[in-house]
Amino acid sequence: MTSFKKYSTIITQLLLLLTLAGCHRKGAKQREHDKPANSTEFQTNNTNLNSYWNDYPFTDTIAIKNPNIAEQRFVNFLAQLPKHPLNEVKDGIESMLKQAEPNQKVFEFFKGQYEHYLADPNSPVRNDQYYEYVLSYLSQSKASSDTDRIRYKLQLEMIKKNQVGMQITDFSYLTSQGQIERLSDKGGNVNMLLFYDPTCPHCKEILNQLNSSELLNKLISSKHLNVIAIDPLGDKKLWKEYQRFIPSNWTNGFDHEDILIKKQYYSLHAYPTIYLLDKAGKILLKDPDYQLVLQILEKM
């Protein structure tokens, strides 16, 4: 097992190949993420992020109603982002929003596209780092209302928590054996931290997939990996009833202090939410598809 730095490039590449699915928290809405049909209208071969949108008609409110034009151009733009360093991505996103800003209808449309593709838990290209750049711009934009600026600042504060490369936020939990442990007690090994909802059918599906992984079980038995499953939702009775679905070689924990959500230690948009941590407790992966986790573990 090795460190965060060695695998950051591998992780970035693999993230492009996989999609994310999850169960929403109560009250959240699920959206479809079908890509719009291909169209050559208003498309470009320009790969320079700062000038990518220079020939796009940001005053055209008809184009935003046609998914083959505005949305397809936007999807193509997102596909370019992983090919560039983060400073160029930040500049490219800010440049694009600045060009869209003068026309309120167009600006609102593209704000919605960024949220739909980069922030929605069900999006195959969800990316907190990229969306942080969007929120940073919107929270300062004069085109945003006072209410929206406050909302964007709160979202920005949340999205900055527990990012890839950061030290994971520590917390205590009650185990199924009745003991109180801390996440930091698991240091020294690679850890998979998995937040689940006992009422979430997709959680059960993912738990079964992980439990059937020969690689995962081999790493656990050889003490190279710990899997810590945490119920953060506060219903102890449900947690106890669900224990039979948690593999016996995992740690099954309960947020006995009821603070993870109330104090917003973590941004839990959907369940299950997975973090992969290196031996020092730094975040290798944040909310990836479980298949990506297995691919990374296989390379360690």
Q: Which residue, chain included where needed, has tokens 């297995």?
A: 294
Q: Is the pLDDT assigned to residue 268 strictly greater than 60?
A: yes
Q: Which residue, chain included where needed, has tokens 């936020």?
A: 169
Region of residue 30 (phi > 0: left; psi between -120 and 50: alpha; otherwise: beta): beta
pLDDT on residue 116: 96
pLDDT category of residue 270 using cuts at 50, 70 and 90:
confident
> Dmax over Cα atoms in the chain, in whole Å?
63
8 A C-beta contact, residue 155 and residue 115? no
pLDDT on residue 167: 96
Mean pLDDT of 93-108: 97
The Cα 198–Cα 239 span in angstroms is: 7
| Interval 102-119: pLDDT, tens | 999 999 999 999 999 999
pLDDT on residue 7: 46
Mean pLDDT of 145-151: 95
Q: For residue 99, report the phi and psi dihedrals to the nearest 5 degrees.
A: -70, -35
At 85, which amino acid appears?
A: P
The Cα 183–Cα 192 span in angstroms is: 11
8 A C-beta contact, residue 224 and residue 196? no
8 A C-beta contact, residue 197 and residue 234? no
Q: Is the pLDDT assigned to residue 6 strictly greater than 50?
A: no
Q: Is the pLDDT assigned to residue 133 strictly greater than 70?
A: yes
Identify the residue with better confidence: 281 or 292: 281
Which letter, b or e, does each residue of 169-206 get, where b requires 16 or more Cβ atoms within 10 Å of its Cβ? Answer: eebebbebeeeebebeebeeebbbbbbbbbebebbbeb
Helices (H), 101-182: 104-114, 128-138, 146-159
Mean pLDDT of 277-290: 92
Helical axes 146-159 vs 128-138, angle rounded to 10°? 150
pLDDT on residue 43: 57
Average pLDDT, the chain: 87
CB-CB neighbours of 259 under 10 Å: 14
Candidate from 10-24, 98-112, 270-284 with smallest mean pLDDT? 10-24
| Interval 229-242: pLDDT, tens | 999 999 999 999 99
CB-CB neighbours of 220 under 10 Å: 18
What residues have CB less than 8 Å from 205, skipping those under 6 apart?
A: none
Identify the residue with better confidence: 2 or 155: 155
Would you state the CATH architecture of domain 166-298?
3-Layer(aba) Sandwich (3.40)
**Distance between alpha carbon 39 and the CA centroid of its chain, in Å?**
29
8 A C-beta contact, residue 228 and residue 183? yes
pLDDT on residue 10: 43
The Cα 234–Cα 290 span in angstroms is: 24
pLDDT on residue 45: 66
- Ordered by start, the domain boundaries in the chain are 52-160, 166-298
Closest among 196, 158, 184, 190 to 274, alpha carbons compared: 196
| Interval 31-40: pLDDT, tens | 344 444 444 4
pLDDT on residue 123: 84
8 A C-beta contact, residue 165 and residue 128? no
pLDDT on residue 204: 94
